[in-house]
Amino acid sequence: MNHRILNVVAASSVLLSGCAAYLRPAIKPGIKTAKVADGTYEGKAEAYAVDGEMNLSVTFQDNKIVSIKTINSGSTASIYRGIEERLFPRIINSQSINIDDITGATISSISAKYIIQNIINENGGNADEWKMESPKSTDVVKKDGYDVIVVGLGSSGISSYLSAASNGATVFGMDSAAKIGGNGAMSAGAMAVNPQTQVALNDGNPFVNEEDMIEDWLSYTDGNAKEEIIRKIIQESGKTFDWLETNYYFHFGEKMFAFYHPKLWPLWTTYTDKSGTDKDTAFINSMNQATALNSKNEYMTELTAKELLKDSDGKVVGVKAVSYDGTTYEIYGKSVILATGGFLGNEEMCQKYTGSVWHAYGMTQCNGAGIQMAQRAGGSLLNPDAGVETHIAQIANIIRSDDVSADDKAILTSLLLDTNAVMVDSSGNLFNEKAGNNLSFNAWLAGKEFYTIYNAEEITKMKTSGMSSFHKPTFLSQGGSYEVNTPIPNIENILAIGEKYDDVITAESISELGDKLGFKLSISDVHGKTNGKFYAIKGAAYIYSTTGGLDVDENFNVLTKEHEPISNVYAVGNDSMGVLFASKKAYVTYGGVAQGYALTSGRLAGYYASVNTK
């Protein structure tokens, strides 16, 4: 049994294009007249991963689900934990597949429920009878007496929590996802300037002159960025590495790496827990250690902040939040640190500030909640239109089906990424010059999507002569291989598969191609051909996060439009990273900047917030 969910990522907002039946309400909720035969059944579906489908084994006994086991997760391991630890037990306990998706693992949740639905239907049952709604709590729980409340527990929120707790504050933390770590768990590493341990291993030689780096950064950002905060991050980021390694369960790589900046300064490295397992283990063990510093300290997942609570004078006194089970929490404290990860998951904000609704690689629970809460409390924005954070260009609707070979997927991706072909942006303008020699970084300049166009003669030639170059993405690679100049006799079949996924658009003329794409093409020919069949391969920049957000001062206090600090409200990480960048200009290429800023702004804001409560 092999169930298909076409275009799984793009369709996740409508519960996947292959899941129309899943949307129907139960016929008789709770009454299962159609019996599922006892047995253990396997099912597959396209899910989050790009290199393999989700494969589950589900056991039924006496018309009840008694076991759900993973054969292949079809997801990033750290994200998938929420599926195994939360979704599966809830399905078994409720005997219902009408369970809320796990925040932070939405696509995997949908795929898992889709698999189970089909197993039910194909083995004697009626999935509509397995869609009973679980009652939501109407309870209101009040928690008070905290020094610091941290909203969001990605890298910046975790660092804030650890820092505040280390400085003697009582701390409450929350995250809307089922796991902590946010985009930090997805990142390659973090920037730090001249961290002590790594400098010692470099014979005591600093990796970069700090003043040279500050000058370079300020020059690139055209005076839009805040020099005082750039200076602080450069001077403090190395100390953050040392602090996390000395006091918590973090371990940073001994070797520093350069990224794509022309000066090739070694400024970033990877990190894990001390055992070398993964970042999640570092996050969890460190949070548990910080929580143990005071019996009042606590953090909760699947708890979504809704608004800042204020007293009669308008001062922020806490946070109102709602749990996955419907329980409302009112948490009261002296200071609030907003660390909700930017606004990638908010289509309206993305369109308004960055000009597009993007293909997401990062966490879409980062929906601008912290930014909007601060704005309602009087906070202002700085550079919300700064270039998005992206290092990935790939097929717009990544083909996740196991029915398509990795080699065929790799060929289609290579055709897309070949900047020697004719490329146009989302408005139909020639894009090759902007794409330059680094399409992975520059694809966002095309808007939501870009198109690589071939004429029929070029495609026909590939049948016998193959491709003269092979392009493989550094990130979101689906594996596969190809030997340059090897004939591709099935090239037309590969393109036909792409058409099924809306990744390839064909037309008999350039004007017809423009009509199908929805805009007028500025090109008059494709490598000399003005008529005949044309193939447009649709690609996209995949975005980790937005980079602009709230305006903050040197202490990371949110600033009003009058540039006055809101004394007990702070913003860190992607919620305030626009202070480092320039309006409408690309994300910097030093390497690991977002993670470096997250960890360092969190450490400093946690300290300032804890001091502010004394």
- pLDDT above 80 (res 574): yes
- DSSP assignment of 205-255 equals --SS-HHHHHHHHHHHTTT-S-HHHHHHHHHHHHHHHHHHHHHSSEEE-SS
Alpha helices for 32-177 (secondary structure H): 77-82, 88-94, 106-122, 155-166
Can you tell me the distance from the alpha carbon of 135 to that of 35, in angstroms, rounded to the nearest whole number?
24
Domain co-membership, 113 together with 26: yes
In a domain, residue 551? The reply is: no
Looking at the structure of the chain, the number of domains it has is: 3
Helix axes 279-291, 155-166, angle to 10 degrees: 30
Does residue 113 sit in the same domain as residue 151? Answer: no
User: Are residues 113 and 146 located together in one domain of the fold?
Assistant: no
Residue 584: its pLDDT value, please?
A: 94
Tens-digit pLDDT profile for residues 578-601? 999 999 999 999 999 999 999 999
Same domain, 186 and 270: yes
Residues 95 and 176 in one domain: no
pLDDT bucket at 10, cuts 50 / 70 / 90: very low
Regarding whether 465 and 380 lie in a shared domain, the answer is no
What does the pLDDT average to over 371-383? Answer: 98
Residue 230 has pLDDT above 70, yes or no: yes
Instruction: Report the candidate in 133, 78, 79, 68 with the shortest Cα–Cα distance to residue 107.
Output: 79
The Cα–Cα gap between 504 and 502 comes to 6
Neighbours of 316 (CB within 10 A): 23
Q: Which domain holds residue 163?
A: 140-354+366-385+562-612
Least confident stretch, 74-78, 291-295, 433-437:
74-78
Q: Which residue has the tokens 């909700």?
A: 340
Residue 1 lies in a domain: no
Provide the pairing of β-strand 504-509 with 531-545. antiparallel
What would the two tokens of residue 155 be?
A: 């890298």
Does 555 fall in a domain?
no
398/512 same-domain check: yes
Helix, coil or strand: residue 409: helix
Which pLDDT score, from 0 to 100, does residue 614 have? 72
Asked if residue 167 and residue 33 are part of one domain, the reply reads no
Average pLDDT over residues 599-604: 99
Q: Is the pLDDT of residue 23 over 70?
A: no
The domain that holds 502 is classified in CATH as 3.90.700
14-28, 171-185, 337-351, 546-560: range with lowest mean pLDDT: 14-28
Over range 447-466, report the average pLDDT: 98
Question: Is the predicted pLDDT of residue 462 greater than 50, yes or no?
Answer: yes
How large is the angle between the packed helices 456-465 and 491-500, nearest 10 degrees? 130
Would you say residue 505 lies in a domain? yes
Q: Which of 496, 518, 544 is the last residue of a domain?
A: 544
254-312 per-position pLDDT tens digit: 999 999 999 999 999 999 999 999 999 999 999 999 999 999 999 999 999 999 999 99
pLDDT score of 1: 43
Q: Average pLDDT for residues 428-451, to the nearest whole number?
A: 95
Task: Tell me, yes or no, whether 115 and 174 share the same domain.
Answer: no
Please report whether residue 238 resides in a domain.
Answer: yes
Q: For 133-137, 466-470, 498-502, 548-552, which range has the lowest pLDDT when averaged over its residues?
A: 133-137
Q: Which of 27-36, 370-379, 511-520, 570-579 has the lowest mean pLDDT?
A: 27-36
Q: Are residues 18 and 60 in the same domain?
A: yes
Residue 604 lies in a domain: yes
Question: What pLDDT, on the 0 to 100 scale, is given for residue 79?
Answer: 85
Amino acid type, 324: Y
Q: What is the mean pLDDT of residues 440-469?
A: 97
Mean of pLDDT values over 525-538: 96
**Which of 83, 106, 130 is at the close of a domain?**
130
* Residue 29, pLDDT score: 57
Predicted confidence (pLDDT) per residue in 198-226, tens digit: 999 999 999 999 999 999 999 999 999 99
Average pLDDT over residues 174-199: 95
Residue of 104, 403, 165 lying closest to 299 (CA atoms): 165
The CATH code of the domain that includes 289 is 3.50.50.60
Residue partners of 385: CB distance under 8 A and separation at least 6: 353, 354, 355, 548, 583, 584
Report the chain's mean pLDDT, rounded to a whole number: 94
Q: Give pLDDT, residue 3.
A: 41
Do 443 and 524 share a structural domain? Answer: yes
What is the percentage of the chain residues whose pLDDT exceeds 70? Answer: 95
| Cβ atoms 329, 303 nearer than 8 A | yes
Does 9 have pLDDT greater than 70?
no
CATH number at residue 39: 3.90.1010.20
30 confidence band (pLDDT: 50, 70, 90): low
Helices (H), 6-69: none
| Domain termination site, one of 109, 130, 151 | 130
530 and 419 in one domain?
A: yes
6 in a domain, yes or no?
no
Q: Which helix (H) or strand (E) holds 408?
A: helix 406-417
Find where tokens 């064909």 sit.
506
Cβ atoms within 10 Å, residue 358: 26
For range 543-568, the mean pLDDT: 98
Query: Residue 130, Cα to own-chain centre: how many angstroms?
Result: 31
Give the pLDDT band (50/70/90) at residue 349: very high
Q: What is the pLDDT of residue 148?
A: 99
**How far apart (Å, rounded) are the C-alpha atoms in residues 177 and 582?**
30
- pLDDT interval class at 28 (50, 70, 90): low
Please say if the pLDDT value at position 13 is more than 80.
no
- Could you tell me if residue 418 is inside a domain? yes
- Counted residue by residue, the chain has a size of 614
